[in-house]
Chains A and B, each alone.
Chain A
Amino acid sequence: MTRETYQKNLREIQDEVLVMGSMIEKALERSMQALRERDLDLAKKILEDDKNINNKRLEIEQRAMDLLCTQAPMASDLRVLIAVLNIITDLERMGDHAAGNAKIAIMIGNEPPLKPLIDLPRMNEKTITMLHDSLDAFINHDADAARKIVPEDDEIDHLYDQVFRELLTFMMEDPRTITRATRLIWAAHNLERTSDRVTNICERVVFMVTGILEDLNVSTY
């Protein structure tokens, strides 16, 4: 006897995590677009879509719970489900950070731009790449690939530093920019937190494959 239905369910849950991951990637892309292009309609749409992300998380959690209580998974199967439960929590929070940036776009509204956004889109792009790679590592059960992603968070931390220092300069030179600059710092902070969540996912992938729980990320923040 092999447990085909159970194995199929286990695979489907992992596929659903990828679906949720692509919803997050899309939310991240669009929130940066909303900030950069001052697209308030798009920002509102992101806030609407965040509800779908939250629902997706609950749906996956429920499916994982069903398998846990009906199939008593063991060993690597159990680790997959534990990893999934952790990863969807991180993804859901990443969705909240994207929604946070959409809210910042709405707050900024039609205020005159402080400066063209350069480092923020870079941080965003890098974060999306890291997220994408971490989910590849997850679906391929590749601990080595997951480990390699973690140091990339340093680049995000570095960009965050850069954004912070630059905006600080703006504020010191002209206090009238404080409100606008602070909002951009919040946006950068949201991205910094998002990439930290990616490293959490990497830790869970390593755990899923090896059974070892370890703290891989020594983030500056």
Chain B
Amino acid sequence: MAVKIQIRDLNFFYGPAQALKSINMDIYENKITALIGPSGCGKTTLLRLMNRMSDLVPDTRVEGQVLIDGQDIFEKSVDVVNLRKKVGMVFQQPNPFPKTIFENVAYGPRMLGTNDKQALSKIVEESLKKAALWDEVKEMLNKSGMTLSGGQQQRLCIARVLAVNPQIILMDEPCSALDPISTLKIEELMMDLKKEYTVIIVTHNMQQAARVSDYTGFMLLGELVEYAVTREIFNVPKDKRCEDYITGRFG
């Protein structure tokens, strides 16, 4: 099983406050890895470091390494635009652009230099198919992305990520704004996506982590307390703090 991302002695600071403490973690290719833990434990911070979204926050500092395919993403030579093309992100709130469905998906490839209408159409269709949205929107590609339901908008955002041909997809609470049916559709989609992509999801919903992920990391106060195969984390967690959190005994 290939390791896609290696996190080595990773520390992260917001000003003087240390948000991540000495994180070491191997994230496997074509697997879904879930990060769970109470609010403020650092899971979103860790996720956002993986495509350097953290660069956008002022007064922060990183120590250690995040290696993707062996390449440290914090090295000066790394082009952040290319990094974010390779490592896409889906957010908590679906955030389609106020453009047509077609343009939402075509936006990324166009920015990266694809202008041929036929090539763009092909990318849009393939991306929407992979995001399990094509059948629902193929007759209305020129309608605004904003007219879609919340669940459809989220799948549109996933299609937008897929359009630039990433290798890794980061998902930050992708279902927290969705109803149970839309949530299940996204979860099914994730299972499909992992065949081609490496997926990392931050979720507060432990059932979701248990349902979809192959590996789960439990974080607390900036530390990765326990990281193992999901079945083990939810059946026989080794760390008392992990057990307490999972069983709801966490005060």
Contact = CB atoms under 8 A, between A and B. Distances in A.
A75 B207 contact: no
Interface in B148-206: 206
Interface stretch (A2-10, A33-41, A136-144): A2-10
B247 interface: yes
B207 A72 contact: yes
A75 B248 contact: no
Interface string B224-237: 00000000001111
Nearest to B207: A72
A76 interface: yes
B246 A2 contact: no
A4 to B, nearest CB: 10
Interface string A191-218: 0000000000000000000110000000
A1 interface: yes
A187 B248 CA distance: 47
B243 A76 contact: yes
A86 B243 CA distance: 23
B248 A1 contact: yes
B235 A211 contact: yes
Contacts of B250: 1-2
A6 B247 CA distance: 10
A78 interface: yes
Contacts of A75: 234-237, 243, 246-247
A121 interface: no
Most buried by A among B235, B248, B251: B248
A6 B243 CA distance: 16
A74 interface: yes
Nearest to A80: B247
Given A74-B210, A76-B243, A2 B236 contact: no
B38 to A, nearest CB: 10
A6 B234 CA distance: 18
A78 B235 CA distance: 8
A6 B248 CA distance: 9
A66 interface: no
A210 B250 CA distance: 21
A72 B234 CA distance: 11
Most buried by A among B243, B249, B251: B249
Nearest to A74: B246
Interface string A1-32: 11100110000000000000000000000000
A77 B236 contact: no
Contacts of A74: 206, 210, 234, 246-248
A74 B234 CA distance: 6
19 contacts: A1-B251, A2-B248, A2-B250, A2-B251, A3-B247, A7-B249, A73-B247, A74-B206, A74-B210, A74-B246, A74-B247, A74-B248, A75-B235, A76-B247, A77-B247, A79-B235, A210-B236, A211-B235, A211-B236
Interface of B: 206-207, 210, 234-237, 243, 246-251
Interface of A: 1-3, 6-7, 72-79, 210-211
